[in-house]
Structure 1
Amino acid sequence: MRRMDLSNAPSSWDIERERLAALSGYAILDTPPEREYDVLTRVAAVALNVQSAAISLIDGHRQWFKSRHGIAFPETPRAIAFCSHALKARSALVVPDARQDTRFRDNPLVTSEGGIRFYASVPLITQTGLCLGTLCVFDPAPRERLDDDERLILEDLAQHATSLIEARCARRMTEIAGKVVDATSDAVLAADLSGRIVHWNAAAEQMFGRSRGEAIGEDVSIIMPPRFVHGHTEAFGRAAQGGPTRLVGSFIELVAMRADGSEFPIELSLARWGDPSGDQGFAAIVRDISARKSLEREREHAQKFLQSIVSNLPATLFVKDVETRRYLMINHAGETVMGRPASEIIGATDHELFPANAEASEDRDNEAIARRETYQTEAAFTRGDGETLYLRTMRTVIDGPDRPCQYLLGVSEDVTQIRRTEAEVLRLAHYDALTGLLNRSSYTDRLFRMVQAREPFAMLSIDLDRFKAVNDQFGHPGGDAVLIQVGDRLRAVIEGEGWIARIGGDEFIAVLAGERLRERAQMCADRLIDELAKPIVTGRGVCYIGASVGIVLMPQDGETTEQLRENVDLALYRAKHNGRACACFFNAEMDSSARDRRQIERDLREAVAAGDIGLVYQPLVAAQTGRITSAEALARWTHPVKGPIRPDVFIALAEECGIIDQLAEQLLRQACVDARNWPADVRVAVNLSPLQFVSGKLVETVGAALAASGLCPSRLQLEVTEGLVIRDVERTFDQLEALRSLGIQILIDDFGVGYSSLSYFQRFPFDKVKLDRSFVEQVTQSQAARAIIQAVVGLGAQLGMAVVAEGVETHEQMEALVAMGCTHLQGYLFSRPLPVTTLCAMLESQRSVVPRQDSQAA
């Protein structure tokens, strides 16, 4: 059986596109109602005894009703139109009950109140076979299918509706044709067989300077110069007798004459005409081609201008004969690139001109000819003087007057400078833009190759000490200035010994190869530390940073890049742990220490997840009365094996491993819950980690803890350190202000040990200032400590801030602090940190705390 060849059959999309174009051409969409259409829908509704009927036209995205009977809306989306289904079927569609039909039961037109139950339609198919829409009827009650008479009525009405649409279109086309004739810029005129003008449109009036009244009835020769009238009269007579004429059915250029006698060029097309009444004649379309003739003259000038552009184009432009490969054209830029005059190039081949490049050039020409499309290449070209250029050339084959693919056109751009620039960019891609040292990518590549080659080497990991403080103090521009000088000093030490790279913000790697690696590595590390210990002067001030160095040796300390990186990090960690500003070689014990630390980290994560980090509370007392006014929440963790872990250790670890937010939120919620059971005038103080301010969710977290516990916000105090304040002043103060607006008190802790700035108190009204315990310890021994405390107390009094002295352990300290005006005291002299149950019992039995004996406090 022979298969049908459907390769040329139109696709459904092509048919739909043709249908939509035809519908648009009928110009019936969105037109006002018309009586003859409304009669049809009314008759359809009455004849088929339904509530609603419509003439529906299916546009690209909607169903629009040319006529609607019993329908409130003028259109619906096409996606829910029943008629879309009839459109696809191109035949009558009957739906007895839409709610029972899986195609329509979920349709909004069905499910809405009073929705469609019964539906029937017949497509509106034009004489060209395109379906514009349907004549449809529908009713809110289901019913049986149409009988033959009802179907015939619906089909007849649909046929009549289609006839109305096509008749309407025909009338419109007739009107348009008349308007086109009147509106066209071409003169349209007609003459009978005697040569008398019988039609003269508006354009003819404008073109020839004669009104319609002046022209009708005159001989057509009035539009011709006198010298052509005789020849026209004879030719027209032959044509009127049925003889041949070269004008009929073709365009010819002639000279015409206006009423004022002026002449102008025209293009004329002549056709015979006749009508049912027997009248005959000739119709002519006349176009004034004065502008075209002017354009032709301009085109000649343009061609000359184009030739001038080609000749002076900055890029090389050449044309070769495809068969002979001889140059037929070359512009001035080509002469410059090739280093020869056009007189030597034209007529010659590449083999004759440039033997060294000829074979490769011919291969590229052959490829372009074979592809029959634009073909781009880039290649080196050696001129006769020996200079090598890089040319990016686009070749394409073009047809000629004699045969297709006659010429090979090429346009070449000299990209020599671009390639040189790219090579420089590639070089810079391997170096750090700020310091000029090798970058991380180069470091990774070089390290990998040295490990693969099994070359012994020493690797030094250099980390700057206190660089973060420099960034906080001077900002990133100041930090960059410091890094530039650091890079210069590192380069001066390592140059001649090995290579150095910047792999991160303040992290550097130096690699030494050769002999005596341990000795040389120690020497370089010592020199690096000495150099970086010297003051660094920038435009923003003088700073001191220092450096710590970790060292590994290959292959003793690792035989893979991963091992070496891990071990040099451990060595660096040990150097920092040993007090910074020192160098440390890796040893196996460090790996064990690292494993211990990782185990502690895992245990801490498990403890946080299980909620095993607890709280104890240390009371704060009013200095004058000894009455407990608040209690500071302090975190405690008892490791199942190692026992109690110092808070500064596990809090720092939580910050390092990224679980501080989770831990801090747990502790805050617990503190709020515990404090809810205390007397209403006793507050709870909770310390904040600087990292809690980074995420931007601190205010939300605190609000949630207060809401969950029911604790009044005025009973919550949040303690922040000076170090936190200086990290990001604006971001920090914005969040503190938001917290204070909730009614929470804000305390600044450890005041006096950081980068203190009195401007902070002007920027933000802290509720309390907590003196660092280092001043309290020296209050009875150091005049300087007493002076600082006195100044802070005075400042607090002026600004309305309470001043808290923490770490009070002796009666002498207490008496001195009270005498200087401290308002609140905290320390072992009054109470050690207490479990919440013990604190609650204390608050119930007594509200004042009697200082303990010094021996007890100790």
Structure 2
Amino acid sequence: MGGNAKGDGTEGLLQSWRAARAAARGLPAYEDLVLGNLGRLANRAALVGGPASHPRLLWVGEAFEGWLGREGAGVALDDLTGGLAQSLREVVGDALAAAGPVHGPCARVAGGVAYTTGMLGLPLATKAGERVVLLCLAGESARTNLLKTLFRSTRQGMVAVAALRDAGGAVEDFRILALNAAAAAMMRATVETAQWQRLTTLMPHLRGSAALAHLVAALDDPQGGFEGSYPRPDGSVLHLRVEIAAIGELLGITLTDIGDLKAREASARLLFEHNPVPMWLSGEDGAVLAVNDAATGHYGVSRDAFLGLSAGDLIASDASGSSQRHRRGDGSLIDVEVFSGPIPFEGRRATLTACVDVTEQRRAEQRIAHMAHHDALTGLPNRVLFHERLTEAVAAGTGLGLLCLDLDHFKLVNDTLGHPAGDALLREVAERLRACLGPGGLVARLGGDEFAILGPARRDVLLGLSDRIIAALGRSFALDGQDVTIGVSIGIALAPEHGDDPDGLLRKADTALYAAKADGRRTRRLFEPAMDAALQNRRALECDLRAAIAAEAMEVYYQPLVDAQSLAVTGCEALLRWRHPERGFVSPGAFIPVAEETGLIAPLGEWVLGRACREAAGWPAGVRVAVNLSPAQFRSPDLVGMVARALAESGLDPARLELEITEQVMLEETTANLAVLHRLRALGLRIAIDDFGTGYASLSYLRAFPFDKIKIDRSFTAALGREATAGAIVQAVIGLGATLGITTLAEGVETAEQLAALRGSGCGEVQGFLFCRPVPAAEIRRLFAAAAMPWMAAA
């Protein structure tokens, strides 16, 4: 973490810390540096201590507490909300790991506003031998309104219009009610001059046009969208893709300028047809749509015959990334490098493929003996050569540092973009690792997404190298026209400090790697003996979880969803609970990540869905059950079939099942994910988006998929009455839902004041402790059997 704050007193604190470290020849003592010595900085400071796995705020200054937005003394970092837990954990963890000062930005999100402040972390030791970290605010906080940023940042035109009818009731025009700056610019106007105008006043050519007919028809039968070209008042031509959403007499219109796309298509066609490199275009089903002369000549196949092929027909053996073996028209085999990417073609999506014949190059490479010791995909040394070098370095007795690396979320790239994209990513990772390591040291690919590095035995050098690698692999990768962001976790072991056995060192570096992953990924950890115990605890938890799933020892609790106006129960959310015979209640935050990492989430999620559907089938008619879907479940090819089986076996009306998805599913938005959502919707069930408003692209989700319900995150509900921005955002989301015909539900309702505010804003449903905590199935059934809900009298 970088950066420094000056002029706020922290520079003097840093100098005092460095002087104390020099005198102590180790970490400065907390009692000497802090007690009675902070002066005005005490107001902006906080002290963190306790176990590394569960650090707490021991004391907190008044200004620091104001920045937290809550009382802080005694609070565990993990209990902080709005992004603070991860930010502060990183500063504390880095300060302890580096045994030195750390500067970095910390951000929290509250009420749709991001507050970013510089943070100084200083590691200290107490007289009792405990390690603590002094945190100090460095500089002023910057505020960013996330919702306004979303609206201002879009390049698409957004317009809301109302139908204008003549005396006979026929729609003759539309009046512009609202628009953003992008839409106004497309019409060569400003927001102020365009608002409240008739649409045909700004664009007279629309009178009697097919485009106006499309808009009129959308009032009764919403269109998926259309494209057209329109002259503007200044004589230029506007090429648009128009998408429409209709609510009563209102239309929400999204305008996308495709003028550049049209020009690029014309240029691309010319470049394609006359290019000396063999190229072809294929559709989503793989069928060849177009081919250039270079390809027909190189493959010895006529144009008509080539157009009758599928792209896969050329492949003679299993493909490996961009390297493939193709069969020519005469039956001969050639080795080629394939480069492909998405491109629009005649109004549909296609893939442009170019091939370079590398047959002779491949034959030469096969004669090189060292290929037996190198990874064919990345060119890095493989596991065999790396183990040999590691054994030699240990035997030399000069000391060494060993880094084990594992890419974060690499499987997701393979699952969503395909293995060719995953291979391309691994090659780029290898290049970035080479650049970080420089001429010294050795980097190898051990297999899959695992890499290893040999370096010097100096801790500071290894930690610096690790930080450079984390930063380099944290930058986005361009894969098939998409920006993909992953990360890396690193475990470090030293010889001879941690042993002199090559296999033992690899195991200890791997144990440290697992600790890095458990600490939130995108970090590095140096091996400590305590890590072995933590690994054993995690394995024990996994073993217990497997046994609990096999024995169906889990429980499903239910929390009512309540109509905001009538206070009647409209449904219940199913929540998984695990009562361990020795551990007691195990938090879902502890065992759900283990289930997702080990693949146990699939059988566990199927069991929860089946149990919830069977239970709901016995509830009063019209009462729905809401079940959460983990992002990991979307990677299961049988997700839709599993849901269909649960409905069929339980006899539950699909209209009474509501599936809740999280933001991560939409952040990983792919054609496949959206297709799964549409197939689930086709079963007749409802789909809700959970924790709406906490992400950076929530509005785009509503364009990507027509959700049935928006669940407003509990952080906004908790801030009602305390933060004006929270009320404004809640009102905006409820209004947006009403405009789009989407039900809104507010989570975390705990007070009558919050309920009153939500009722006044027109919120459809509410959920929270004010009405009922999550309870077992038998208690929910007793609740339904009661003459009236207990909370109605209190309200």
Task: Give the TM-score taking structure 2 as reference length.
Answer: 0.49
Taking structure 1 as the reference length, what is the TM-score of the superposition? 0.46
Q: Which has the larger radius of gyration?
A: 1
